[in-house]
Amino acid sequence: MAKRRTKLQLMQESGPPEKPSHSADTIREEFLNYLRGECHLADNTIEAYGRDLNRFIGWVGKRRLDSIRVGDLTQFMGTLSESGLAPASVSRAVVAIRTFFKYLQLEGTVSENPAELLAAQKMWQRMPGVLSQRQVDLFLRAPRRSDAFWLRDIAMLEVLYATGCRASEVCSLRIRDLSLDQKHLKCTGKGGKQRMVPIGGRAIAAIERYCEDLRGELAAKPPHPPDELFLSRSGRALDRIQLWRLVKHYAKRVGIDSAISPHSLRHSFATHLLAGGADLRQVQEMLGHASIQTTQIYTHVEHSRLKRVHQQYHPRA
């Protein structure tokens, strides 16, 4: 009995359709649906994989996917590096292409998976931007009473630094996620994974003041009261772009490096914990890292800082 051809295989064997982009678009959308429905990846991850796949499909052109070999894939990764793409983004593209070819193999579009042999580029250990404790103090005091939503902004910045949560995690925090009397909150991270994160007294006080004096006013603006903790001027949930702009605004106000981002506070949170003697596994759990190797980058940051201190102050450095 002849082997049943899959839809994707028949699509390729029939040659390019009248509109060449349609086939590529179909493959892309079905792959992203697979990531969403079968792999249950986070929306941000699916969006990033979609961008990686767009680059790859554009690079492949009219070549058949079952003709691609590991040498071709290595060449493609080389073009990404040469284009100036960050090492972390190149490494993510490796994972995206591996997952894509695994999907094609499951669908029967390719019989072999050349991406299995694709060597992941060793991530360059860039030192993430970390603020000193003095800079953090300045930054957290940046919102002023003259700012329209200063109570919200103080609470938001305090939560970013107090918990080490990602920007998307802070934006998605809901009122029912807070257990302030027990000094922790429930955070929903990548892939919908939830974790309990401790929170300190200053952040708790800032949240309580914001909720008492401002949030109710903002929540009354939309037709249906929102669940999220941090709200925009329209009363809807604050999004990542708005949060990013606020962080940039307050950093500029107090004269901190313009490269600061919400992630800088996450980096600072982890580095300051390790500097204070926290266990690496505990920091991994608080950050929500799946792998301890991801958390270990902060040990490099702290060692680098200590090395600079030694070189600056030791008489025989």
Question: Are the C-beta atoms of residues 264 and 129 closer than 8 Å to each other?
Answer: yes
Q: Is 289 exposed, middle or buried (0-12, 13-18, 19+ CB in 10 A)?
A: middle
Least Cα distance to 74 among 105, 97, 53 occurs for 97
Buried b (16+ CB within 10 A) or exposed e, 128-167: bbbbeeebbebbbebbeeebebebbbbbbbbbbbbbbbbb
Dist CA 178 CA 107 (whole Å): 44
Question: Are the C-beta atoms of residues 270 and 128 closer than 8 Å to each other?
Answer: no
Question: Are the C-beta atoms of residues 303 and 297 closer than 8 Å to each other?
Answer: no
Residue 284: φ, ψ to 5°: -55, -45
Dist CA 197 CA 113 (whole Å): 40
User: Tokens at residue 239, please?
Assistant: 């999004």
Residues with a known catalytic role: 166, 190, 263, 266, 289, 298
Question: Are the C-beta atoms of residues 16 and 23 closer than 8 Å to each other?
Answer: yes
Question: Are the C-beta atoms of residues 235 and 220 closer than 8 Å to each other?
Answer: yes
